[in-house]
Structure formats: C-alpha cells, structure tokens
Amino acid sequence: MKNLSATVLLFLISIAFGQSGLSQEIDLLIKGGHVIDARNKIDAKMDVAITDGRILKVARNIPAEDAGKVIDASDCYVAPGLIDPHTHVFVGSKARFADGYNSVSPDAITLKAGITTVVDAGTSGWRNFPLFKEQVIDRSTTRVLSFLNIAGSGMTGFPTEEDVHDMDARMTALVIGQYPDIIVGVKIGHYRGSDWAPFDRALEAGHVADVPLMVECHLPLLPLEGILERMRPGDIYTHSYCRASDRECLLDDDLKLRPHVVEAQQKGVLFDVGHGGGMFHFDIAVPALEQGLLPDSFGSDLHRFSMNSGMKNMLDIMSKFLNMGMDLKDIISRATWNTAQSIQRQDLGNLSEGSVADVVVLCLREGEFGFIDTKGNKLTGNRKLEAELTIREGKVVWDLNGMAANETY
C-alpha cells in the first residue's frame, strides 16, 4: 500500500512538472547554429527549441531526445525572421500599385529570402485598406503589416494620389485605430506640389494615432531640410542612398553628408535603404557609410519593376552592405530587432522564450560575387548571405537544400 501511494505521488509530481513547463516536448530543435538575437544579446553557438509555434528555449546543448524533429544548423547562422519594412504587396488586377499588378504577392519573394514579415509602404489608404486586408493580408503566409498612405486610396497614380482633399488626417488615424495589430504607421510619398499640407496632414495622423511616419521622398518641390526638420524621432526616411531627380540627395556635390542630415540622425530620425529599381547607388552608399550614415533598416522597395533588377531581395541588399564593410552581426540586428522596434512591434524580431517562432537559418557563402546597384554599377564581393531554412510560426516554409527533410537517399 505504501509503495502504491509512493507511485501515485510520483505520478502526480510528474504531471505537475509537465504542466509547469519544466518538461515539455519539443516540436522542432535547431542545433549547433550560431545564434544572433540582438534583443537578448545572444551572439554564440546555441540551440533553439520550438513548440506550438513559439520559442520554447534558446540554450547550449538542449537534449534532442524529446524533439519531434532535429535540424543540424552547424556552420550556419540562426536569427529571428527578417523584417522588410518597405514593400508594395497590394496585388490585384489593375494597372497600378494599389489593387494592381505593379505590386507583388509577398509569398512569391519573401520566404525564400528568410523574410517572415513585410510592411507594405502605403500602397493602400484609408478608403481601400479593408480590401487590401481581405485580398492579401489575410491570405498570405508571410506576416503582412502596413503603413497607411495619407492619400485616401493609396498608390493609384496621378491625379487621385495627389488629391489634397482626399488626404484626411482624421480618417487615416481612425482606420489605424481600427487595425492596430496590422497598421504600424503613416506614409507620405508621391506629391509634386509645393504645399506642405499633405506632409503636415500625414504628421498629424501619425501624432493622433501615435505611430511613425514613413517619408518616401518623391516630393520634388519640398526641400530636404524642411522635410527633415518636420520629422520626429522615430520617423523613417526611405530611399536614403541615391541621387535622383525628384529629391535632394542626402550628400552634397562633394559627397559630404549635409548638415541637416546629420542633425536629423542625431535627433533620432531613422534612415531606411528603400533600394527599389532606381533608388540605390554605390557612389552614394559607400561615402555615406564612411561618414556614419548606416541604414537603420534594409527596406527593399519590392514591386514588379524592382524584383528582377539590381535588387534581388532583402538578403541581396544585406549582402551588399556586408561587402561594403558593415559587420554581419550589426546587419542581422538591424534587419530584425532594430526594424521591429522602428515599427513598434517589439513582439517580433527576437527569439525570446514565448515569442512567435519566426526563424531564419542563414548560410554565409564565400567566393566571388557580383552585386549591382540601380544604375548598373557592379560591386565585387567575397561573401553572400543565403537563406537555407525559413520557419514561420514554427512551421518550415522554405527549405533550400532539404535541411528539414525526413529521408536521405
């Protein structure tokens, strides 16, 4: 009887330990990779355990006995899923970006590049955001967030996109408030007038909704100094490394950072790459980096006209900056945790216990590689990042070389 009581007691203790999480089965265990997690200050060989779509634990030498699947990530880097903060993914059937075929379906590009979250850069506005949500956001494996355009119908082209009467700060802030888990900011982008009203209304909407403003500077008649003076700490300036006809370059004719750019950086304005099909030039990027203008994020400006140009994907952009001299750990940190903070989504971009299991396994290839800017210039480099494996909410959604496959033949 005493032995039976002891057996029952041990059984109850084992149940209690299991319920407390001290003993829990692992769905997926990534072993032996070099983990880079800026939020948790991890930069070392670690194992990553995933259960029920969440990070269970990051530690050295996690036992594999209870794991449903073990992935050997030796010689690879393991990081939170990458976040691309500048894309155009409101794909549809019209000859434009908003609900149009100039936008790109996110899953077609992102997952194979290790990107688990994209932010649409204002392709929709307050009038058509519900359609964007139904048509793209709700149907994508990639997590799709959004900046909301101050133009009511988003990127529909001239003249509707430049209709000041449809730039309603109150309605923009109202729609942001209706979708706080999806809409992360306001965007001002395409306006050829000299009136500051569109810019000021976008700022007002951002202030009311307490979200950042992304400035996509196709604003040829608004001076750069005035734009940067109006921007607040945490606001985002994109297309930072180019010299284009419709905006003032961040560098002067002597390739020196303009004083108001330095002041904006010191104030806390963030600078995104915004590569696109025409907005990234090595002859601007190299001297800008040398003077300390590092990208706060690696926005691709993904759309139909950029996806097959000098911009292959966000990993290609990261590889360019790697070969221009940036540190790999810094690049990955900026592409994950720093970007998550910039869009006020601290639940993303990290491998904290309990966080959603968005993970990328990266290979750093060595050899001779060519990288192209949007003027057709080539940078030769010796390192290139490649996504071996992408995991979205605990599920493998991209596997380049069968790393997570069941059998070897």
Q: Tell me the pLDDT of the chain averaged across its residues.
A: 94
pLDDT digits (tens, 9 = 90+) for 127-146: 999 999 999 999 999 999 99
Instruction: Identify the pLDDT of residue 408.
Output: 74
pLDDT band at 217 (very low <50, low <70, confident <90, very high): confident
pLDDT digits (tens, 9 = 90+) for 144-171: 999 999 999 999 999 999 999 999 999 9
Classify strands 378-392 and 395-399 as parallel, antiparallel or unpaired: antiparallel
Instruction: Give the span between the Cα atoms of 24 and 51, in whole angstroms.
Output: 8
pLDDT at 17 over 50: no
Instruction: Identify the pLDDT of residue 99.
Output: 97
Domains parsed from the chain with CATH numbers = 81-342 (3.20.20.140)
What phi, psi does 382 have (nearest 5°)?
Answer: -120, 5
Q: Could you tell me which residues come within 8 angstroms of residue 35 by beta carbon, excluding any fewer than 6 positions away?
A: 42, 43, 44, 45, 46, 48, 58, 77, 78, 79, 351
For residue 356, the 8-state DSSP code is: B
The pLDDT > 70 percentage for the chain reads 94
Burial track 85-116 (b if 16+ CB lie within 10 A, e otherwise): bbbbbbbbeeebbbbbebbbebbebbbbbbbb
pLDDT digits (tens, 9 = 90+) for 320-348: 999 999 999 999 999 999 999 999 999 99
pLDDT digits (tens, 9 = 90+) for 59-98: 999 999 989 999 999 999 999 999 999 999 999 999 999 9
pLDDT at 240 over 50: yes
pLDDT digits (tens, 9 = 90+) for 344-396: 999 999 999 999 999 999 999 999 999 999 999 999 999 999 999 999 999 99
CB-count exposure of residue 75 (10 Å: 0-12, 13-18, 19+):
exposed
Q: What is the reported pTM?
A: 0.94
pLDDT band at 24 (very low <50, low <70, confident <90, very high): low
Q: Can you read off the two tokens belonging to residue 111?
A: 């997952």
Instruction: Give the span between the Cα atoms of 169 and 151, in whole angstroms.
Output: 9
pLDDT at 11 over 70: no
**Residue 388 burial (CB count, 10 A):** 23
Instruction: Identify the pLDDT of residue 76.
Output: 98
Q: Can you read off the two tokens belonging to residue 68?
A: 């449903």
CA dihedral 303, 377, 317, 384 (to 10 degrees): 130
Classify strands 54-59 and 42-51 as parallel, antiparallel or unpaired: antiparallel
pLDDT digits (tens, 9 = 90+) for 33-49: 999 999 999 999 999 99
Instruction: Give the span between the Cα atoms of 377 and 310, in whole angstroms.
Output: 9
The pLDDT > 90 percentage for the chain reads 89
53: left (phi over 0), alpha (psi -120 to 50) or beta: left
